[in-house]
A = this chain, B = another copy of it.
Amino acid sequence: MLSNGLYIMTSRSADRVGAATVTWVSQASFRPPLIMAALRRDGSLFGCLRESGVAALHVLGRAQQDVARRFFAPTEAADGLLNGEPVAPGLTAAPILGCAPAYVECRVRQLIDAPGDHAVVLLEVIEATCRERVAPLTIAESPWEYGG
């Protein structure tokens, strides 16, 4: 009964790209603008984020369940596509999804040595882009209870 959104987070380290659907995300500060996220330790996303110190968090609209589903699968990057979705370069090394109505680009501020089965990371938002104001996709409206 906790309420969460469904997001796509991406990162890149050298020529490796990491991406995943994530749900355990919340703002954590106004100044500086921080986001806290709990991420699977074994995924490509966390591996790239830890190495490169950058990430992008993409909001999805309510009609984009299919996009969320694609990023439950292992990361596949080729020919300007990430898990089949067009991506473009952003401010940092993290690729930006063309289909996302809004996204924030972040630098890792703190990797927390948390006792749980997920890594907890504090990200500082260095740029925020809103292409379209939409009702965001949430876990409550999805068929899932956990998004990775």
Q: From residue 66 to 121 of chain A, which have CB atoms closer than 8 A to chain B? A: 101-102, 109-110, 112, 114-118, 120
Q: Total interface residues on A, using CB and 8 Å? A: 40
The minimal Cβ–Cβ distance linking A144 to chain B, given in whole angstroms, is: 13
> Once the chains bind, are A136 and B2 in contact (CB under 8 Å)?
yes
Q: Does A17 contact B (CB under 8 A)?
A: no
**What is the count of identical protomers in the complex?**
2
> Once the chains bind, are B5 and A2 in contact (CB under 8 Å)?
yes
> Once the chains bind, are A120 and B122 in contact (CB under 8 Å)?
yes
A115-B122 contact, Cβ under 8 Å, with A26-B26, A28-B24, A133-B1:
yes
Q: Does A27 contact B (CB under 8 A)?
A: yes
> Once the chains bind, are B118 and A114 in contact (CB under 8 Å)?
no
> Once the chains bind, are A136 and B30 in contact (CB under 8 Å)?
no
CA distance A31 to B120 in the complex (A): 14
Q: Does A38 contact B (CB under 8 A)?
A: yes
Chain B residues within 8 Å of A5, by CB? 2-4
Chain B residues within 8 Å of A23, by CB? 26
Specify the chain B residue showing the minimal Cβ separation from A32.
B116
Chain B residues within 8 Å of A114, by CB? 28-29, 34, 110, 122
What are the 3 A-B residue pairs with the smallest beta carbon separation, nearest first? A29-B116, A3-B5, A28-B38
